[in-house]
Structure 1
Amino acid sequence: MTSQSHRPVFVLGCPRSGTTLLQQMLHSHRRLAVPSETRFVHVAYARRLGFGDLREKPNRRALAEWITAGEGTKFDVLGLDPGAVAGDIVHGPPTLGSALAAVFRRYAREHGKARWGDKRPSYFRKVPMLLRMFPDAQFVHLVRDGRDAVSSLARMPWYDGDVYSAALTWREAVDTGSRLARRLGPGRYFEMRYEDLVAEPERSLVALCGFLGEEYDEAMAEPHHHARRTVPAERRWHLRTHEAVNDRNVGAWAVRMRPWEADLVEHVLADRLRRHGYALAGRDRPEAAHVARFRRTAAHRWRAQRARAIRDRAARLREPNPVGSLLTGPATRSEILPISPDQ
């Protein structure tokens, strides 16, 4: 089977579910280029009104300059020439999705790959945004035992939440995954378990490649070779990617979590853990005060998400341009050509 697909691939999941490992596996495929988190896709979408009418070349140039040199975009992890990327954007179609696709297309070409993707755990909250910009995208959701994911996330130095918010994040991720599976169908959405991936990498990756319409590449099962070149040592929480794939961290929650945390997390996630094939440990019922705090955290987050959704709907009414990419699909096989904004 020789793949002709050029559909973008987005990796998502609750943070600390193994998405970096999966990103390294995908990038090890001879046709797929999936960089580390770039952090400019969702921010560019949030700021899209500020860039103005992209049919105007100066506005496309301003967008290009922000992507390539803006604070916090992490464009530098791509290792691309900013001037060349800016030229692709300025001379490309006048939509936000096209500008972003131009960046990833050049990244793929620099790596000799035909297809690109992106990874960010929190993309599980951003699928409607991604579909607006990349309607032909495919989504890969990696699910890990919620107790392991929560116990790891709550202890990350960059995480500003607590065990309550971490448990809620995992619950949101798997609930969103269930909705996406129904809405998008098996051709656009694929779910896999971290535990299966590390226990039998080849079997899981063959299934994933089948979903993507790609031939399996044996290099995918040895992502540590690529990770050692691309994952810096200062990112201590990702150093496990430097090792050969293993399952040593499966079930680590049992020694990482304090008893009250384990009681709470298993209680509030019980139904969803069983639904995804995770056996319960029979923890004690948590204290009522801990359950009440979890529920308050959930209510507060729900209100915040509703407010963001309302703001986004209002922003859509003021968009000066369509946001959908005109550079995805079969056109990605060719070099980016100058296109008049009138076309």
Structure 2
Amino acid sequence: MAPASEAGPGGASGRPLFVIGCPRSGTTLLQLMLHSHHRIAIPAETRFVVPAYLARCEFGDLTDRDNRRALAEWITGRKATKFHDLGLDAAEVADAITAGPPTVGSAVGLVFRAYARRFDRPRWGDKRPSYSKHVGTLLRMFPDAQFVHLVRDGRDCVASLLEMPWYKQDIYHAVSAWRESIDIGHRLAARLGPETYYELQYERLVADPADELIRLCAFLGEDFDPAMLEPQDIAERTVPKQKKWHDRTRSAVSRSRIGSWAQRLEPWEIGLAEAAFGDRLGEYGYEPSDIAARPGARQLARLAKVAAHRRAALRKAELKDRWQRRYEPNPVHSLLEPDPYPASP
């Protein structure tokens, strides 16, 4: 990897960046820290990247301008895509996609390029915890992408998930989500290598933000920006007000939530989580609890059933994508050249 001072638009610092991790692991905080960097723009969750890829065959041959227009209007016009949260002119972005290269990766990239230009930044990224299950898809669209995986104590993630108004699953799904995230991370580290995949822990990030962010910036090929230490400043401008569960991002970085699972989870819930996580907790230095209750056979059976169902759903999605690849009318990778748009000094 080139040193941060040598990285330029054509090197590591020109690569798309994706933040992944188990839900409620602190990915929004990390996104805001990165978005505070004077060269990087990462919006709140957009929800059009993977859906656009999955719907790619519906738009036909993208060498046809009318089909590119249909794709552009699908991305910019549907509320489900969260495009309206980006603060962009939908007509201008749709025109850029229509005039752009004929691949879905190019269309998606043009949206993020427009967002980066809104903040006068040359580099863009995106954050969504579920991207950990779609890294292959993201690499198909952006072969030079980099991935940052944020890991947090699984018991804190489970406790937080169960408190979210939008989370409709039970503890068995929450426990499975963290375990899946860790196992996926292990596979990605081996497959992608240290130039493409980077892992850091939430607890270390909030305990010593400067040290962790300096290391992260080195991976990204960027110079460290002290503004990253004050993510609450940009949170006021970019975090949607309706997302009350992100209210803490508008305050200074704090260690106060570390280990709060001990007060938020019942002993049986702690025991179930620790039994499911096994050695994974210890790998990251998370100590076992002395108040955990041994899970019963019925609870373990329920967990096994949920985990099997989730694996089957993921396998079904992979098989569907493999079938779609046989019929996709165009390549999917982005054909955009590095953006020459300058960043403010």
Q: TM-score range by the shorter chain?
A: over 0.9
Q: 1:219: which partner in 2?
A: 227
Q: In 1, Cα distance between the equivalents of 2:226 and 2:312?
A: 46
Count residues in correspondence.
333
Using the TM superposition, name which of 151-160 and 213-222 deviates more.
151-160
The secondary structure found in structure 2 opposite 1:290 is helix
Matching of residues 139-178 of structure 1 within 5 Å: 139-178=147-186
Q: 2:55: which partner in 1?
A: 47
Cα shift readout 1:115-166 (whole Å, capped 9, x = no counterpart): 0000001000000000000000000000000000011112211011111000
* Contact 2:100 2:107 survives alignment (8 Å): yes
Amino acid at match of 1:272: R
Matched, 1:310 2:319: yes
Q: 1:298: which partner in 2?
A: 307
Q: In 2, Cα distance between the equivalents of 1:237 and 1:122?
A: 18
Q: 1:59: which partner in 2?
A: 67
Q: 1:325: which partner in 2?
A: 334
Amino acid at match of 2:340: R
The secondary structure found in structure 2 opposite 1:72 is helix
Select the residue among 186, 191, 215 that pairs with 2:194. 186
Q: 1:341: which partner in 2?
A: none
Q: State the TM-score, normalizing by the size of structure 1.
A: 0.95
Amino acid at match of 1:128: G
Q: 1:9: which partner in 2?
A: 17
The secondary structure found in structure 2 opposite 1:332 is coil
Q: 2:250: which partner in 1?
A: 242
Amino acid at match of 1:88: A
Q: 2:207: which partner in 1?
A: 199
The secondary structure found in structure 2 opposite 1:154 is helix
**Structure 1 residue 334, shift from structure 2 partner:** 5.0
Q: 2:294: which partner in 1?
A: 285
**Structure 1 residue 234, shift from structure 2 partner:** 2.5
Cα shift readout 1:48-75 (whole Å, capped 9, x = no counterpart): 1101110000000000001111130100
The secondary structure found in structure 1 opposite 2:286 is coil
Q: In 2, Cα distance between the equivalents of 1:304 and 1:200?
A: 38
Q: State the TM-score, normalizing by the size of structure 2.
A: 0.95
Cα shift readout 1:67-91 (whole Å, capped 9, x = no counterpart): 1111301001110111110111011
Q: 1:25: which partner in 2?
A: 33
Q: 2:274: which partner in 1?
A: 266
Matching of residues 90-169 of structure 1 within 5 Å: 90-169=98-177
* Contact 1:195 1:250 survives alignment (8 Å): yes
* Contact 2:117 2:341 survives alignment (8 Å): no
* Contact 1:270 1:280 survives alignment (8 Å): no
Gaps of 5+ in 1: 336-343
Q: Percent identity?
A: 56
The secondary structure found in structure 2 opposite 1:216 is coil
Q: In 1, Cα distance between the equivalents of 2:112 and 2:237?
A: 20
The secondary structure found in structure 1 opposite 2:240 is coil
**Structure 1 residue 176, shift from structure 2 partner:** 0.3
Q: In 2, Cα distance between the equivalents of 1:79 and 1:272?
A: 40
Using the TM superposition, name which of 129-138 and 288-297 deviates more.
288-297
Q: In 2, Cα distance between the equivalents of 1:246 and 1:2?
A: 33
Matching of residues 70-85 of structure 1 within 5 Å: 70-85=78-93
Amino acid at match of 2:188: L
**Structure 1 residue 285, shift from structure 2 partner:** 1.8
* Contact 1:97 1:325 survives alignment (8 Å): yes
Gaps of 5+ in 2: none
Q: In 1, Cα distance between the equivalents of 2:178 and 2:303?
A: 13
* Contact 1:2 1:215 survives alignment (8 Å): no
**Structure 1 residue 295, shift from structure 2 partner:** 0.3
